Amino acid sequence: MNHLDNLGEIISVRLPVDKVGFTGRMCPNLECQKYFKIVFGTGLEGEDLPCYCPYCGNAAVPDEFTTDEKIDYAVSVAEQKLIDAVYKDLKALEFDYPPKGPFGLGISMKVERMDPHLIQHYREKKLETDVTCKTCSLQYSIYGVFAFCPDCREHNSLQIFHKNMEVVNNLIDLTENLEEDLSTRLIENALEDCVSSFDGYGRELCRIYAHCASMSANVKRINFQNLDEAQVSVRNTFRFDLVRSFENDAWFEVRRLFQMRHVIAHKMGVVDREYINRSGDTSFVEGQKLQLRAKHVRRLSDLLARAANKIYSEFKLIDCSRSEEPNSVLQSGD
């Protein structure tokens, strides 16, 4: 049997995956080159589909996302297979003719194997967030929280925001049988989580659509904890009105709940003139302590979840041809 011929013209190497089934990938964009992982066999099916970097959104053919460690591993395994085949073929040619007669010469050939060739093993890195894309079902893992899906390029910000609102509601459920002090503190924390999740969500959308902004320098300064300021900034920068993402009077209700959070976070929960003037809430008098209830936070998470869907659509509809810097590549982690 000729082992070398049996190898054929192409040597296939199976790449090991980590315990969960993830395979590491690396963005080929030289300004990014960040690592992420995917589970092959999940996500989109088809020929010649591009792969997208979850961090910068760069598209390339899937092979370009192969990590250097994997290439080194595959080369070393292929070399090993080659050496094995040559060794076995030569081994089959061994012979040994013993000497004949009192002064005869014997002749033999013995094939010894040299030191084993070293396989360049690699280990996949541990990352921070595992995501299953809502759109194409690809399972992927990333540093940080927000990302583009490497298969369909759908951004996960809306998915992450809804997940956060689910956690807020679970937290509120836990408060039902607790004593009042502890329950109040957890409800306040849940309110804070609503506001900070919305802020993180809004900032991330601004970041990924920065190339569509009319004034890209403003993008990093947009703060979604203050809805009035966010409304003005989004209108000036992305040319749409945040208010229209809120149904009926939801904008005013959400504004008031955000101002409640401001009083709790910065004024020990004691109502001041600024709160009354800004929120128009006359159910409290100056100097009185705000009474935040679980129902307020549930209502806020519900209103924000609905608004978040519409805000996502508004960003998608932006006319990017009117931007300052068309086609600029996202700088991940900014």
212 three-class SS: helix
Q: Nearest 5°: phi and psi at 96? A: -155, 105
Separation CA 157–CA 215 (nearest Å)? 22
Nearest CB to Zn ion, comparing residues 156 and 245: 156
Nearer to Zn ion, 27 or 158 (CB): 27
Interhelix angle 180-208/157-174, nearest 10 degrees: 180
What is the nearest approach in angstroms of Zn ion to the Cβ of residue 132? 9
Contact (CB, 8 A) for 89 and 82: no
| Nearest approach, Cβ of residue 193 and Zn ion (Å) | 26
Is 29 near Zn ion (CB under 5 A)?
yes
CB of 209 to Zn ion, least distance (A): 17
39 and 23 Cβ atoms separated by less than 8 Å: yes
Instruction: Please identify, using beta-carbon distances, which residue of 56 and 206 lies nearer to Zn ion.
Output: 56
**C-alpha span between 262 and 195 (Å, rounded):** 10
Given 26, 51, 53, 219, the residue binding Zn ion (CB under 5 A): 53
In Å, what is the CA distance from 268 to each residue of 2, 29, 262?
Answer: 83, 48, 9
The stretches of 244-293 forming alpha helices (DSSP H) are: 250-266, 273-279
Per CB under 5 A, contacts with Zn ion among 290-329 are none
Among 83, 90, 136, 186, binds Zn ion (CB under 5 A): 136
Residue 55 sits in the site that holds Zn ion (CB under 5 A): yes
Which string of x and - marks every residue 243-282 that binds Zn ion (by CB under 5 A)? ----------------------------------------
Instruction: Give me 289's structure tokens.
Output: 């302590």
User: Closer to Zn ion at the Cβ: 38 or 292?
Assistant: 38
Closest C-alpha among 285, 261, 289 to residue 273: 285
> Binding residue for Zn ion (CB under 5 A) from 39, 77, 142, 149?
149
Stretch that binds Zn ion, among 64-72, 83-91, 130-138, 167-175 (CB under 5 A): 130-138
Smallest distance, Zn ion to C-beta of residue 162, A = 16
Q: Least distance (Å) from Zn ion to the CB of residue 212?
A: 19
User: What span, in angstroms and rounded, lies between the C-alpha atoms of 259 and 48?
Assistant: 51
Q: Distance between CA atoms of 253 and 184, rounded to whole angstroms?
A: 21
User: Whose CA is closest to 167, among 8, 301, 15, 67?
Assistant: 301
Identify the three-state secondary structure at position 132. Answer: strand
Residues 56-75 that bind Zn ion (CB under 5 A): 56, 58
Site string for Zn ion, 81-120 (x = CB under 5 A): ----------------------------------------
**Window 211-240: contact mask with Zn ion (x via CB under 5 A):** ------------------------------
Phi first, then psi: what are they for 306, rounded to 5°? -70, -40
| Nearest in space to 22 (alpha carbons), one of 123, 137, 147 | 123
**Least distance (Å) from Zn ion to the CB of residue 124?**
18
Which strand (E) or helix (H) includes residue 237? helix 227-238
For Zn ion, the closer CB: 152 or 167: 152
Question: Number of residues in contact with Zn ion, rule: CB under 5 A?
Answer: 15
CB 140 within 8 A of CB 53: no
For Zn ion, the binding residue among 124, 151, 193, 204 (CB under 5 A) is 151
Of the pair 26, 205, the CB lying nearest Zn ion is at 26
- The residue type of 314 is E
Closest CB to Zn ion among residues 54, 202: 54
List interacting residues with Zn ion (CB under 5 A): 27, 29, 32, 53, 55-56, 58, 133, 135-136, 138, 149, 151-152, 154
